[in-house]
Amino acid sequence: MLKRGFVLGATALTLMVGLSGFADAQALRDKWCKDVHLRFFVGGAEGDAFGTIVYNGAKQAQADTGAQVEFVFSGWNTEKMVQQLREAVASKPQGIAMMGHPGDDAIMPLAEQASKAGIKMIYQNVPVPKVVAAYGGGYIGAQQEAQGRALGAEAVRLAGLKAGDVAIMMGPFDMENRGDRERGTVKAMEEAGIKVVKINSDPTWTADPNLALPIVTAALLNNPTAKAFGYPGGQMLGNVPTYMQAAKKKPGEIFNFGFDTSPQIVEAFKAGWVQLTADQQPFLQGYLPVLNLCQQVVYGLGPINVDTGAGFVTPQNYKVVGALAEQGLR
């Protein structure tokens, strides 16, 4: 009985090894997405601080999968994004990775066209829940309002703000989906009793943060008791030393906070100009959309949803991400 059991066990083991080898031979393929054509929206212009990290992630995914990717740069101009998406759908790639900045209403009719043409869609950085509910697709990025609220609460705590204190928050408050993040920050601070002065930001400030210089200095001049200043993106947060010096402020005199990491933001932490940022790992917002579109087209897998919000960077921990930020990875 023991001998027979041993023989059966060995046979089963041999069969398992054989099946394992068969599975490896079938599944492990190099450049498995090489015949797939994709369009990828980077969001910013070439060389943009945030967009470069997104681009680096997408390029790495392209190298890993072999996908044929055409990159689209928009300078964070939502009208341009919509026109470029219209052109992308008309060219009929197998998949499109689209920035959600234009919002549900603007993207909806083009998402319908993409769906009818059999084009796989995935969205990054800004969610478009109505579009996804109607025509499918995944989302890679931070959850806007949740991340904004968390940043507002953390800014109140770290800055030691009390009820009645004044803070200034810049953001695209007039944008349908994109403004959810900064609106969330304002809500969290107001719920703590902070008086928040809201300044609507212009998309061109993201492309060239120096354009906001007179707005920032005027805001500080008009609100001399402001203790904290929040910014809507890494490009502007990285430009804080320029803003503060123009306003004749010293490092640490104003609690400056915002979103994202970059080499400029790391330097601003080092010099004491920036005190808090919320990291949303833009490298993943580049890498995962390309990877998942390939998975959908080649393997028939479903779209994925990943919250890339990674927590906060502060003067105490910025060195952990500093080296990666300098490499354009964080």
| CA–CA gap between residue 6 and residue 4 (Å, rounded) | 5
Asked whether the predicted pLDDT for residue 32 surpasses 70, the reply is yes
List all residues 6 or more positions away from 53 whose beta carbon is below 8 Å from its beta carbon. Answer: 262, 282, 283, 286, 328, 329, 330
Contact 236, 219 (CB under 8 A): no
Q: Is 303 helix (H, G, I), strand (E, B) or coil?
A: coil
Contact 100, 69 (CB under 8 A): no
pLDDT tens profile 126-156: 999 999 999 999 999 999 999 999 999 999 9
Q: Could you tell me the domains of the chain?
A: 37-142+281-310 (3.40.50.2300), 144-279 (3.40.50.2300)
What is the DSSP-derived secondary structure letter of residue 141? Answer: S
- Note the pLDDT of residue 63: 98
Nearest CA to 71 out of 97, 39, 45 is that of: 39
Amino acid identity, position 318: Y
Asked whether the predicted pLDDT for residue 8 surpasses 60, the reply is no
| CA–CA gap between residue 260 and residue 50 (Å, rounded) | 8
Contact 236, 205 (CB under 8 A): yes
Give the Cα-Cα-Cα angle 51, 55, 59 (nearest 5 degrees): 175
Q: If you average pLDDT over every residue of the chain, what do you get?
A: 92
- Note the pLDDT of residue 24: 55
Is this prediction's pTM over 0.95? no
Residue 145 zone, left/alpha/beta (φ > 0; ψ -120 to 50; rest): alpha
Asked whether the predicted pLDDT for residue 322 surpasses 90, the reply is no
Three-state secondary structure along 6-71?
HHHHHHHHHHHHHHHHHHHHHHCCCCCCCCCEEEEECCCCCCCHHHHHHHHHHHHHHHHHCCEEEE
pLDDT tens profile 158-208: 999 999 999 999 999 999 899 999 999 999 999 999 999 999 999 889 889
Amino acid identity, position 131: V
The string over 260-282, giving b where at least 16 C-beta atoms fall within 10 Å of a residue's C-beta and e elsewhere, is: bbbbbbbbbbeeebbbbbbbbbb
- Note the pLDDT of residue 40: 98
More confident residue, 22 or 306: 306
Asked whether the predicted pLDDT for residue 28 surpasses 80, the reply is no
List all residues 6 or more positions away from 145 whose beta carbon is below 8 Å from its beta carbon. Answer: 180, 181, 183, 184
Our CA dihedral for 273, 275, 278, 284, rounded to 10 degrees, sits at: 50
